[in-house]
Structure 1
C-alpha cells in the first residue's frame, strides 16, 4: 500500500547523498562562522574579521561576515528542507557534511585568515601560540570527525552494494 501524498509532500525518490552532504556542510560552515562571530567578535571582543584598519572598518567587516553567515545559513536550511520535503535526505551523509563544514571553516579561518592573510589574530596582547593551537586543533578534530563519518557511510554503502 502506498503512502498518501498530500499537497505538501511528494513521493519518495532515491536519496541524494552528495547533495545531503553539501547542504549540511554549508550549514556547518555557517554555524561555525556564527559561533566565531558571536563569541569571539561580539561577546569577548577579541578581534574583528578585518583588524588591519580602523575600528569602524573592523566593525563593518564583522557586519559583512555576519551577513554572509546568515545568508549561508538560510540557503543551507532551504536546501536541507527541500531534501526532507522530497524525502531524498541521506541523514548519515548530512551528519558527515555538517562536521566537515564546521572543521573546514575553522581550519580555513585559522590557517588562511589568521596566518596567511593576517586579516586578524585569535586574540591580541597575549602569546597567540596556545590560541592558534587550540583553534586549529579544534578545527582539525571537527574535520576528522566529518571524515570518519563520511568514511563509515561510504563503507556501509560499499558493503550494501556488494551483497
Structure 2
C-alpha cells in the first residue's frame, strides 16, 4: 500500500534521478581511483600513475591522480548530501551509479592506460595477463551490476509515471 508521502518521495527521487546517478558515478569513480592509488601505488609499490620517466615524476603523477580521486569522491558526496537534504535520495539508483563509475574507471584504467597508452602496467611481472584479466573482469562485473540497478530503477520510474498519468 503506497501512501501520499510515498508518492511525494517518489516524485522527488524521480525528479532527481539523474543527479542520484551522477552522484553515485562520481563517488564510485573517485573511490576506486583512491583505492588504486592507495593500495597499488603507495602500499604495494606496484607502479606509479606515470612510469615512463623518473621516480620523482612518478610520485608527482601519483599526487595529481590522488587529488583527482579526492575531488571526484568529495564532489559525489556533496551531491549525495544535497539529495538527502532535498529528500530526493534514491539509494538503489545511487548504488547503481557507484558500481557503474567504479567499473568504468577500472576498465578505462585497465584497457586505455595499461594497454593502449602504456603509461603503466598493473604490475611488472613476467606473466601480467592474470593481473590484467582479474582487473578487467572485476571492472566488467561492476559495470554489469551497476547497469542492472540503473535499469531496474528506470523501469520503476516509468511504471510510477504511467500510474500517475492514469489517475
Give TM-score, length-normalised by structure 1. 0.89
Partner of 2:70: 70
Question: Given the alignment, which residue of 8, 11, 14 partners 2:12?
Answer: 14
Q: Which residue of 1 aligns with 2:140?
A: 140
Tell me the equivalent position of 1:46. 46
Identify, as 1 or 2, the structure richer in helix.
Answer: 2
What is the Cα deviation at residue 91 of structure 1?
Answer: 1.8
SS at match of 2:147: helix
Q: Aligned equivalents of 2:87 and 2:157: distance in 1?
A: 18
Give runs of aligned pairs for residues 26-37 of structure 1, distance below 5 A: 26-37=26-37
Q: CA shift at 1:129, angstroms?
A: 0.6
The aligned residue for residue 113 of structure 1 is 113
Deviation, 1:42, is: 0.7
CA RMSD, 1 decimal? 1.7
Deviation at 1:72, TM superposition (A): 1.4
Q: CA deviation at 1:142?
A: 0.4
Q: Which runs of 5+ in 1 are unaligned?
A: 4-11
Moved over 6 A (4+): none
How far is the alpha carbon of 1:159 from its aligned partner? 2.6
* Deviation, structure 1 residue 162: 3.2
